[in-house]
Structure 1
Amino acid sequence: MPYRRSGRSGLQLPAVSLGLWHNFGFVDRFDTAEQLVRHAFDRGITHFDLANNYGPPPGSAETVFGRILQRGLAAYRDEIIVSTKAGYVMGPGPYGDGGSRKYLVSSLDQSLKRMGLDYVDIFYHHRPDPNTPLEETMAALDYTVRSGRALYVGVSNYPAPLLREATAILRRLGTPCVIHQPRYNMFDRKIEPELLPALADEGVGCIAFSPLAQGMLTDKYLSGDIPADSRAARGHFLKAGDVTAEKLAVIRKLDAIARERGQKLAQMALSWVLRHPGMTSVLIGASRVGQIEDAVGALAKLDFSAEQLWAIESALAA
């Protein structure tokens, strides 16, 4: 497992990180969740990414992860990076959402209690809050580090101009922003024109979520059918209607390019994200050990020829 420095900080993350967004809540099997986390750690995936609202239900992924830690993994705490976030709706009332100091600090306290931890390695503000002054939100992040609740702070889903403002505030406070977590994949490239250059300028690392476009950039839908166990079938975020005939045609072209490279489509999609010099890590989800193995296998072929990149661009433009 290669490890990459997060921006200009001293923090290094594995090139592949495991997200506990789905498949790790109370509605899922605990033994499967434990198997996935342990297998990931054994393969060098030392970074586990959570949020206060991950589950379902909200909070349950942190509770499940805490139980996994208690059943043996806590012995390796100094070798593990745990990140969590607050910013999306976690509960009713005025203190269960947003970017206020009240919400962020109390949410992190609740997350620590659920996981049975004294601190997290990275604490993120999960999304911008237009109703709270940015100075208040960044001061709250700074406080979580100074109070010992977190070692580092980051932001997620921040557009480039706001990212620059946030990093400037945190720099003045003495707690630099070390990482940003945006959505990025072959089908969603909006971070390329402004955000990636901003991160390079500010010395902030980048960890991409949804690198497989919620499963569309895998072999799951190549046949044109919607598997019963797929996200499109469940319809929570990816809808069956999103897997159109036009999109399938593009996916099949990309699959052919991946096969020529000696990779599965999902592996090529991860390699494509990681090709960026400023990309610290790629955040995967998993419901089976084989998916973790495929992700780690992608690291064997991170280089692309000019011809391969051109072929990918042509397929995406079709």
Structure 2
Amino acid sequence: MTFEARDDRYDTMHYRRAGASGLQLPALSLGLWQNFGTSRPFDVQRAIVLRAFDLGITHFDLANNYGPPPGSAEESFGRILATDLRSYRDEIIISTKAGYTMWPGPYGDWGSRKYLTASLDQSLRRLGTDYVDVFYHHRPDPSSPIGETAGALVSAIARGKSLYTGISNYDPEQTRAAHAALASLGAPPVLHQPSYSMLNRTIEHGLSEVLEELRIGGIVFSPLAQGLLTDRYLSGSAPQGSRATSSPFLHETDIDEDYLRRARALNDLAAARGQTLAQLALAWALRRPVITSAIIGASSVSQLEQNVAALTAAPLTTNELTTIDILLE
């Protein structure tokens, strides 16, 4: 069937400006990190992406190494773009990244101009599009000069292959250096993508202040802590097929008594607000003005819809935020 987007797709989504730029993103973006490779049926992937667009999610976050295997998420999204979303391209923000290992040898990793230029060209071929809206450097390179990395990102804009620059996983000092290098070339980063959740508050120790000062939008990944901030593990065990049994980023040993104590208490607080634990976690991550968007993954349309429903809840009160801080101690 030919896809036709809903006429009311922009009526309920909240959009936030990315730092000092003119770019606006939905409060929730769809990330294609772990659920859009060859291990998940394409029809399921397609249904999730199209439903996201109908819900007002205009931003789709990718990277060269997303899948699995690496590259397959871009290929999957490229198929959906070609068959369903091509006529809506001007309404969509597509971002991709380079910085992790993609091919053997000294030119398939990190942050050299050689690697970043080749990686973006490969990503565009997989996506089947002439340009991406945001091209990120995925992680700092301890060896390449930051000026070279910045130059590669800005060169992509000059060549018409991206519109904005972004950085990811940079600490406060590295963020300042990247911003200075990119700004000197006329393309300061509009977005910084760090990990942030109730269980990982590292950005609160310096990075969020830098983002506010430099007027860079924060777009956070793993706001549900790889599923720990959902009801999936509240029983104390990991269901077969869950990330705790199959992902290198989460392990069954993470489901310990300390985690269960905190997660169950947070779940009770969420229930008192008429929310799920996941919805509470998303509302909490989005409470800070410096956060432009939170990236969610989804393994089903129903899971996507439940997460988007987090945006309809009342803002967290001062008492609720204090209670959360106490529970997380």
In structure 2, what is the Cα distance between the partners aligned to 1:267 and 1:91? 38
Provide Cα deviations, 1:117-136, integer angstroms capped at 9, x if missing partner. Answer: 00000000000000101110
Runs of 4+ in 1 over 6 A off after TM superposition: none
1:303 and 2:315 matched: yes
Q: Secondary structure of the equivalent of 2:67?
A: coil
In structure 2, what is the Cα distance between the partners aligned to 1:243 and 1:96? 36
> Percent identity, aligned pairs only?
57
- Give the equivalent residue in structure 1 for 2:4: none
The residue correspondences of 1:89-168 to structure 2 (distance < 5 A) are 89-168=101-180
Residue 20 of structure 2 aligns with an amino acid whose one-letter code is: R
TM-aligned CA deviation for residue 233 of structure 1: 1.3
Residue 250 of structure 1 aligns with an amino acid whose one-letter code is: R
The residue correspondences of 1:1-318 to structure 2 (distance < 5 A) are 1-301=13-313, 303-317=315-329
Residue 314 of structure 1 aligns with an amino acid whose one-letter code is: I
Q: Secondary structure of the equivalent of 2:190?
A: strand
8 Å Cα contact 1:272/1:302 also seen in 2: no
8 Å Cα contact 2:17/2:292 also seen in 1: yes
Provide Cα deviations, 1:229-288, integer angstroms capped at 9, x if missing partner. Answer: 210011421011111121111100000111111111000000000000111000000001
Q: Secondary structure of the equivalent of 1:123?
A: strand
8 Å Cα contact 1:125/1:156 also seen in 2: yes
Q: Secondary structure of the equivalent of 1:191?
A: helix
In structure 2, what is the Cα distance between the partners aligned to 1:237 and 1:161? 26
Residue 227 of structure 1 aligns with an amino acid whose one-letter code is: P
TM-aligned CA deviation for residue 115 of structure 1: 0.6
TM-aligned CA deviation for residue 302 of structure 1: 5.2
Uncovered stretches (5+) of structure 1, i.e. residues with no partner: none
In structure 2, what is the Cα distance between the partners aligned to 1:301 and 1:206? 22
Residue 309 of structure 1 aligns with an amino acid whose one-letter code is: L
Uncovered stretches (5+) of structure 2, i.e. residues with no partner: 1-12
8 Å Cα contact 1:274/1:302 also seen in 2: no
Work out the number of aligned pairs and report it: 317
Residue 45 of structure 1 aligns with an amino acid whose one-letter code is: I
8 Å Cα contact 1:17/1:49 also seen in 2: yes
In structure 2, what is the Cα distance between the partners aligned to 1:63 and 1:73? 14
In structure 2, what is the Cα distance between the partners aligned to 1:46 and 1:228? 33
TM-score with structure 1 setting the length: 0.98
